[in-house]
Structure 1
Amino acid sequence: MRAAFSDALVALAQRDPKVLLLTGDHGYALFDPFIKACPDQYMNCGIAEQNMVGVAAGLAKAGFRPFVYGLSAFVPIRVLEQIKIDICYENLPVTLVGDGAGVVYAQLGTSHQSTEDIAALRAVPGINIYSPADRFELTSCMNRAYDEGLPAYLRMGKADLGDVHSGLADAGSADDLVSVGGNKARYLFLGTGSGVKLAERVAQITGGADVVSCPRLKPFPEASLHELAKGREGIVTFEEHAIDGGLGSIVAERLLGSYNGKFLRIGIQDRFSTQCGDYRFLMESHGLAPEAVAGRIAKAFNAGA
């Protein structure tokens, strides 16, 4: 996914010399192709993320199209005030890219993990939020953010869990909900980011579920959601983010009063990571192993059946 991000950014920068890449001393080899192709459009702002967002805002006011890259624990979390005032209040065409979202920086602890970024940004007016599931959705989201020319946040997990689509055309529009598998099964599994891959694996275990990806979280394609929810016995949301304020909250808020089936949110509970290990170990410690999740769904949906 990170390579696809680099490729998409290089393509945009070659097409538009106003496209700039700002990084807070991150990226390293990831941006070698960009630096080679567009050396005058690259700025390393150093480990000063709050200042970097201010610089991006100034450049946007001067007619440039900045892409601001950082770890999602820092962009957007460390720079939330600057995003709110410098970018969103001014409605500037700045795209923020948060890499390593969720708990993928497992060994680095809570300071480098980001499970609250969607929740924090949702309440800020005027910013669009994207959370692609694979390289094809990422390319679609990047192009959409550029075309719209509005404040945007692109959430990117560093762990490459594999594609969920066969190509860019299969990924559909970044503005809508995208079917990954199934057609009007009993249950609807909605995932975003790495949560789509988890939803796929759980669907293989449980059976009887359609899997749908949600690459755009704000504004959310509400009409498509209501259409997909019709006739479902149960709906489950999957995300590598806190269950409060993320995809689960978004879906619940929009279905309130119109959906009477069972509903379950799968994600990070209200706690920090308390153990150290690799990515798979940490996901398991948060109860997000596919087998554990399948067991929770079976228990929740069969209760009282």
Structure 2
Amino acid sequence: MFGFNRGCILARVLVCLWCLVFLYCPLDTLYFTASCGLPSSPLVLTDKHGNEVPCLDVFGKEDLFRMGKVYRYKEGIYAFQEVHSQKIYVGESRNIHGRLREHFRGDGQAPALWRDIQVPSSEFRLYILELLPNSTRELREVVEKSYWGRIECEYNIQNNGWQHPNALLSPTGLPAKNYCPVSLITADGRLVKSFVSRSALVRWLGIGARQAPSYIDRDRLLGGVFKVVSFRGGEEMEESEQSLLRDEFTRNWFAQTPIQKATQASADLRSSPVSAYKEGVLVGTYPSLGACGRALGMPHSTVSRAIKANRATRTGFTFFIHESQ
């Protein structure tokens, strides 16, 4: 009886183990979940306007081994689309097949994607969007982010911002508008330079982050030299030509910016000689606005306001500012 019970227990354990293998093996630690075959109705990756996004290849579960042979150690841009939720994940890699294995091992490279992979009913389709042989990581990141503006992909394959320089995300974890790639072109449409984000653009131009957005995606010239448009591929200008255009932009931009004009005027005012009058009689001439205020026992801001408003102070002083030599 004891041997029979032990045999039953062993049989039950074997059945349980077989069930576990049946349930978890389809997850396939290297590849897709059990339900990740091609969907019955073909899905087409579309942009925001409903146009089909060209893809080099599309894969389901049955194509994974072929994919491994073709795309192992190939550099480029890829995308995942979850069939049911329509979520799209875009990524870049110098080894597309190797990166796929990393994603489905759940090694932390893409936590949002890994959470979706673990859902038992999830179905994925893999798109090879673009191959970039012998490309640098910086170039792949620019091209990857260009798809953010084309495809409705609120979810991207990113690490946390402090772990990966590619993770330019808004505080909510979604791509912020200022982090989408842009290109700088001339008035006649020539490509000057492309940037991974608008933030990188304004840093390159040397202007405030809040000053440029009104020019982006509008038919307005930035500093009379550039236009900012959505990412545009192609050959960029030589660095020497870029520098000449940037110098011209800098001269025009700061010459026409009201804030810069006011700042310059204030600097001229502070360093120019000032004469003080009371009841039409010259009290004295002072080397600067500050010196005038100290001599008359009043804040220099009072003197400045009286000069700008062209009026007398409460104590009856009027001022005349001399041009700096």
Q: What TM bracket, shorter-length normalisation?
A: under 0.3
Which structure carries more relative contact order (alpha carbon 8 Å, separation 6+)?
1
TM-score (norm 2): 0.25
> What is the TM-score with the length of structure 1 in the denominator?
0.26
